Chain A
Amino acid sequence: SQTIHQWPATLVQPVGSPLSLECTVEGTSNPNLYWYRQAAGRGLQLLFYSVGIGQISSEVPQNLSASRPQDRQFILSSKKLLLSDSGFYLCAWSRGQGGETQYFGPGTRLLVL
C-alpha cells in the first residue's frame, strides 16, 4: 500500500529565515505530487505540482519554490520567510498518468514569528 510522509510535523521559524519542508511517498512509482497551503480556518491553496522528476509547475507567484530531486520526493523551500507564510502545509500525491484521487500527507504546521 502507499504511504506519504512529511517532516517536520511542526516548525517555528523567525521572519527572514530559510525553509525546507520534505515530502516522500512510498509504494508507488511516478506519482503526481502537490504542495498545498492552508491558512488558519481557510481552504486549500495549491502552490506547486509536479508530474515527474525536475518538472515543477507553480500556481501562485510567491517567495516559495519547489523541487523534485527524486521520483517520490518533493521539497518546498524558501530563502526568506515572511509572516504571511505561516500555515498548514500539505503534500499530496495522485497516481500518475491521469490519476484523479489525491491522498494527503499528515502536514507541517509552520509558524513564522
Chain B
Amino acid sequence: GENVEQHPSTLSVQEGDSAVIKCTYSDSASNYFPWYKQELGKRPQLIIDIRSNVGEKKDQRIAVTLNKTAKHFSLHITETQPEDSAVYFCAAYPPSGNTGKLIFGQGTTLQVKP
C-alpha cells in the first residue's frame, strides 16, 4: 500500500525566511496531494492541494510543487510569519475502492521565531 514519508520532523526559521517541507510517496497511482495545517489544540485544516496533472500551485505565500517522476512533493512558505507556526501534514490519495482514504505523513512542526 501507499506510504508517505515527511521531512523534516521539526523546522525552525526566522520570521521573514522561507520554509520548505518535503514528502515522498511510494504508490505511483496516487493522484491527489493535500497539505494540512494544525495549530495547537485545533483541528487540521486544508491549506493547499495539488493534483497529479499539475506541477505547481500557488496561493499567496504558500506553494506546492509535485515531481511525479521522483514521487515527491513539497510545501513552500515564503515570508514566514509567527502565525505560520503549527504542525503541517502532507498526504497522498491512492485511488482505490472509492474509500477516500488519505495516507498522511508524520507531520512537521514549524516554529517561526519573531
Contact = CB atoms under 8 A, between A and B. Distances in A.
B113 interface: no
A43 B104 contact: yes
Contacts of A44: 44, 89, 104, 107
B90 to A, nearest CB: 11
Contacts of A104: 36, 43-45
A103 B102 contact: no
Main secondary structure of the interface of A (DSSP, over half): loop
B30 to A, nearest CB: 10
A103 B34 CA distance: 11
Interface string B28-53: 00001010100000111110010000
Interface of A: 32, 34, 42-44, 46, 49, 51, 57, 90, 94-107
19 contacts: A34-B100, A34-B101, A43-B104, A43-B105, A44-B89, A46-B101, A49-B101, A51-B98, A51-B100, A57-B99, A98-B98, A100-B34, A100-B93, A100-B102, A101-B32, A101-B34, A101-B49, A102-B100, A107-B43
Interface of B: 32, 34, 36, 42-46, 49, 89, 93, 95, 98-102, 104-107
